[in-house]
Structure 1
């Protein structure tokens, strides 16, 4: 479906319109009385969310991000599904599954009010996806843009047997200075330290970043907070359907090695991810469904 058709079928003036990125990917622009946002239909990926009461975007997107078929866009909120992290069966399949590098479908758009806009994207199994993951499914992503940003990812299992998944919102939060940032809400929480060979450790106090960090926290509560004094704001993450969270920053060495990051980009973002990962595996019965939700609020 081309941009003209998308606008005819789904645009709602003045809140929702579709534009074409220079790559050819369709983008959805949202502009209501409380916030602006940009969503890539490719990957079902939020690229920008900015409340009009704040001067900075919630999200980070690399200036060197790839906008190419088959590649993930570096930044925003990539969707990891039906597995989080490396291929769980070691078959050489892509890390974080296949949703983030496929074109979604626009299922519905709504102007709920002058202040709140809702977009629903969907993805179903195809012969191509079944070669990667053999199960029939329906995936629905609801995005609500208002004074806060809410993502709801619903997996429907169309198999005749149960399936197991891991998944996540791989959210890149924009920060003013990584050296000043703290993540609150993880004190006294166990985590797997992937930088240290997956050793299990215990978090003491707030999380601060002064080197490469790649951790899966387990038995996590429903609210986490990123304190960002450099930008004078607090980012509040509230979730349901998740018992685990990932904190990731590649730091200098890995940033230098990544073709889709600028050398010092690690100073400008922190990933705090609402996930089902590690021991937090989701089993969905035949005909059943599972919902993962995250809400992001910006406070001064």
Structure 2
């Protein structure tokens, strides 16, 4: 992709600028009066979001790979058309194939309330059909304002239905993992991937003091990460999703990962808006489905308490 042409066709003076990023990938820098973001066209992936006068919402590993065929560790990777291991055990990539593809820039715009909106897209090719034999259009709409809004839209171009699982695999930056509480999942059933997918029920609010990899089922539309180290709360509102994934690799796995520093696990948690586990979405021929998440940083609000 030619950076000069991208700026000519899609740049917005003072708001949206294209530049060469790490690994030579095209990056999009979004800035407006409300906040800023960096988006990688490779992977269709938001790498950072920083509301005005705030710290970054997202964690991005300093050891992340910026190489074709590898995912970028941090930000908000898109898992599609499956979440987790290859559901048919054919040796295909974990979390699907779109996070390691160069997307297309579809549109950039300024909304009526001054937010900046970037739409990226990916369509099937002979290469993708060899991996997953379906015709599709996939769009990611990124809206940057006081909050960050992500909406992933799947369109089935086939003559038969297909099924997907998916996730917005967002890495949230936290002051320290032992000073966060995740609220909104009290009493919810989950699959514990660390314990061989055992079915369990969340007792109270979530605190993390060891490896956590859970798929929560039939979740409510709003979750909160209460971060006392940063004295802030991250409010996550989702739509068209009944599944939430909570992940932190803890010390051993973090040390084993080449694209994480040994102590990185202390500074992020993934709380993912998803259709995963038993929530499989069937998309009709010619139809579409959507999943969306909105992330808002809050300060100076009354103390939150877990649900009874």
Q: Once superposed, what is the RMSD of the aligned Cα atoms? A: 0.7
Counterpart of 1:284? 283
| Number of residue equivalences | 299
Residue pairs, 1:70-89, within 5 angstroms:
70-89=69-88
SS in 2 for 1:23: helix
- Offset of residue 53 of structure 1: 3.1
Cα offset for 1:114?
7.0
Could you list the structure 1 runs, at least 4 aligned residues long, displaced by more than 6 angstroms after superposition.
none
1:185-224: CA deviation from partner (whole Å, max 9, x where unpaired): 0000000000111100000110000000000000001000
TM-score normalised according to structure 1 size: 0.99
Q: Distance in 2 between matches of 1:216 and 1:112?
A: 35
Residue 253 of structure 1 aligns to a residue whose secondary structure is helix
**Partner of residue 5, structure 2:** 5
Q: Work out whether residues 239 and 293 of structure 1, in 8 Å CA contact, stay in contact via their aligned partners in 2.
A: yes
- Distance in 2, matches of 1:4 and 1:100, equals 24
* Residue 23 (structure 1) shift: 1.1
1:115/1:147 contact within 8 Å kept = no
In 2, the alpha carbon distance for the partners of 1:61 and 1:147 equals 20
Offset at residue 112 of structure 1 (A): 1.6
Name the residue aligned to 1:16. 16
Partner of 2:303: none
The 8 Å contact of residues 120 and 143 in structure 1, kept in 2 or not, is answered as yes
1:47–1:76 contact (8 Å) kept in structure 2: yes
What does 1:1-300 align with in structure 2 at a 5 Å threshold?
Answer: 1-54=1-54, 56-113=55-112, 115-300=114-299
107-116 or 289-298, which deviates more = 107-116
Q: Is the 8 A contact 1:176 1:268 kept in 2?
A: yes
The CA deviation at 1:113 is 4.8
Q: Give the distance between the partners of 2:23 and 2:246, measured in 1 at CA.
A: 30
Q: Could you report, residue by residue, the CA deviation over 1:133-179 in whole angstroms, capped at 9, with x for unpaired residues?
A: 00000001100000000011000011111100000000000000100
Instruction: Return the offset for 1:21.
Output: 1.2
